Homo-oligomer: A and B are copies of this chain.
Amino acid sequence: MPKKVDHKKRKQKIAEATWRVIVEKGIEHASVRNIAEEANLSLGALRHYFSSQDQLLAYTMELVKERATNRIERIAAQNIPLKEKVIAMLLEMVPTNEQTRVEMEVWFSYIVHIRHKKDKKSLEADGVYEGVQLLMNTLQHENLLKAEVDVEKEAEALYGLVDGLAIHALFEPAKLPKEKLKTIFTIYMERLYK
């Protein structure tokens, strides 16, 4: 009986090989051929799942986003005070450990890689803007924000702060350890609260 192949698992393995190639060699080396080699698959086997590099990269990015979204949803489901939850969620949007650093590195490389392509995705495809918008709306709904806070502008500002700190933490992790990021987010959010 032929071995049954778990297709979803295999696709994930290919995506993980893609991450490794991007992190170790740079996205310019993330050819279908190099990734097949890293994943220990024949080119034909890889092509069975992904017929082009674009497809493969798009799937890989979806997986990065899915992982981050899952972590954030787990925090959302926790039974902790909302203000604590907000900080925990913001900390999931910046690199604070090896795993999130790899994810961010991969995402950042991708965004830059597709920058000059015609069918480029919007920068917002990473879900960060949606995330901070949801946070701000929830805080307003719970009546925790100062009266003068303009939720739409604050979402834009917080989105800027999150992505800026994320890039700084990615490039110079020693300067922005998790505790420092937590303090910065806490000070920032406290100013918006009643």
Contacts and interface: CB of A to CB of B under 8 A. Distances in A.
Interface string A20-59: 0000011010000000000000000000000000000000
A3 interface: no
Given A26-B116, A188-B157, A165 B168 contact: no
Contacts of A176: 156
Given A28-B28, A187-B153, A168 B159 contact: yes
Interface in A54-77: none
Identical copies in the complex: 2
Nearest to A192: B191
A168 B124 CA distance: 9
B160 A164 contact: yes
Contacts of A89: none
A119 to B, nearest CB: 15
Contacts of A156: 176, 180, 184
Interface string A150-164: 100110110111111
